[in-house]
Chain A
Amino acid sequence: MISDSSMPYSAPTLAPGADDDQLLHVSLGPQHPSTHGVFRMNVVLDGETVVSLKPVFGYLHRNHEKIAEGVTYLSSMPYTDRLDYICPLSNNWAYAHAVEKLAGIEVPERAEYMRVILAELTRLINHTAFMGFILGDMGAWGSALMYAFRERELILDLFEDLTGARMMANFMRFGGCRNDLPAGWAEKCSVLVDDYGPFLDEMEKFLVGNEILLARCQDVGQLPKETLINGGITGPMLRAAGVNYDIRKAEPYGIYERFSFRIPLGDKGDCYDRIMIRFLEMRESLKILRQALDQLPEGEYVNPKAKIRGFKPPVGEAYARIEGPKGELGFHLISDGTVNPYRYRVRPPSFINLTLLEDMCLGLDLADVVIILGSIDIVLGEVDR
């Protein structure tokens, strides 16, 4: 085993010539003021200006990947709920998608529609909750979050009807879903989709022209497109900078090819664009939901040939990804032909989107760091795994 004594903790490095006497070292966090989770940043300040920022991870680490190697494929499904606990159903889908690719399992049409509906509802939840949290970061503590959570609760009610759980759904199965839609569910969902547009109008009216939001978010935290792609940034963060890359269009999975929707793109890629891009994405999600609910076919909700007990995918490996609400959510699986995965790797968007956090914050005020972190939209369950 390798001794780590040769790799001591390295304190944040300073720019050459910087006068250390005048610098203030701030350990920001770890705290969970119901914002983004238990996350710490070692920040070095020159007055109010950030000269170095090193994120510290791992407060929620439970070695999810190791646990998954010790259990069967299906046993990891409930654990995926706990990765990004705001959007469990997207995580379920990403994992099921990867295993289906690994084992070559077909998914019936009705199940594909159900998955799209659930994933887009999850996107609504995520982006709505994001609006509340980011406003909380700006000092609008509580009000915006309560508006957001009021709507989120309506979607969670739908999830509870369908899966039995508000958040920890454990709903997808390899080759489909766990159970069929209960009677009347699609109609209830349809009503929700109709009512969601007016809520978005209302929320947008509060936010778009808001003086504080404009002052705090515009021209904060933008980076060139090339840097963002090179840094592995995906999802709304990347599209806010004007890069047209959405996996639903770039590498369509499920049945996304059948729906007509657009990919909203930002211009500057500052925090304001990142907020607005999520509003536009929610409106596109509503379009997808409307089409999916109208087209929802009858049929099987799970592939009857897919094995549940003693499921052993053939030897091989697969990497599959979906456009999660926060970015590219991927699973890399290696099967050695037994009931447990030999390697189970989560590609968490929240974790990799933090790669460029320091680059975005350098030269800005400490108060901007909070907004930038909020605009990345992380969930620590996924960052730390």
Chain B
Amino acid sequence: MSVDIGAALQGIHAALPAAKVAMRTNPGPSNQHSLLVGNESLVDVLRFLRDHLDFDLLSNVSGVDWPDPAKADAVAVFGEGEETAREHGFLEVVYHLYSTSRRVGPLVLRARSADRGENACVPSVVSVFRSAEFQEREIFDLYGVIFTGHPDLRRILMWDEFVDHPMRKDYVAPDDYEYEPTPHDDVLVKAKRHYPAES
């Protein structure tokens, strides 16, 4: 059953008047609209949703990279009052919540970092939902979102010595080129760059 996102928003506003929560409309046919939650109230909102609206299962946590503000505009995920983010690009974390008792969902929440550099921080929700533990580590590993308050934030899929975050849109793969006997097209260009003497 799909979720009544308006009721959830009203409930949050009534219980947590200080929380910055705004609705984001999904332009696609999936009818899954989302709530954009301010970082300072993210943990409180999730705790309220868990304890009072029975959203007890945090099913999925996704990272999304928006390096190009124009792109984010085109996909219509922007809101008002986010001029800094609009200028710099940002990293986004998307949460999908379900209720096992009421059998509704997904309730989609999103949180955004201030930028993609020093301040790429989003509060960790592990204190409310344990299921976020490995998923947040994965997003830290692949996107570089720093989850403040995470009990054990270290790389999970890449090895510990790895530098950089491979899921970012501007990630450049290292030129650790493997020899190919019959290079062609852009592989040939890369091969020439890598083995100048041979070709």
Contacts and interface: CB of A to CB of B under 8 A. Distances in A.
A101 B155 CA distance: 32
A54 to B, nearest CB: 8
A102 interface: yes
Contacts of A342: 64, 71, 75
Contacts of B41: none
B87 to A, nearest CB: 19
A147 B159 CA distance: 38
Contacts of B120: 2
A1 B129 CA distance: 28
B53 to A, nearest CB: 15
Contact of A65 (B26, B29, B146, B167): B167
Contact of A227 (B63, B130, B165, B171): B130
Contacts of A192: none
Contacts of B132: 232
Contact of B30 (A63, A231, A251, A316): A316
A231 B74 contact: no
Given A318-B30, A330-B59, A343-B62, A1 B165 contact: yes
A10 interface: yes
B62 A345 contact: yes
A307 interface: no
B60 interface: yes
A243 B100 contact: yes
Contact of A316 (B29, B59, B106, B154): B29
Contacts of B1: 251
A66 B154 contact: no
Contacts of A231: 130-131
B152 interface: yes
Contact of A315 (B27, B64, B159, B166): B27
B130 A319 contact: no
Contacts of B76: 315
A14 B25 CA distance: 47
A313 to B, nearest CB: 7
Interface residues of B, number: 55
Nearest to B100: A245
Given A1-B165, A63-B167, A351-B134, A318 B57 contact: no
Contacts of A352: 131, 134-135
Interface string A299-333: 00000000000000111111111000000101010
A58 interface: yes
Contacts of B71: 336, 342
A3 B165 CA distance: 10
A58 B157 contact: yes
A313 B96 contact: no
B158 A58 contact: yes
Given A251-B1, A319-B60, A330-B59, A232 B29 contact: no
14 contacts: A1-B144, A8-B154, A9-B154, A9-B160, A66-B166, A231-B130, A233-B131, A315-B76, A332-B60, A336-B75, A342-B64, A352-B134, A355-B133, A356-B130
Given A231-B131, A352-B135, 6 more contacts: A2-B117, A7-B154, A245-B57, A316-B29, A317-B94, A330-B60
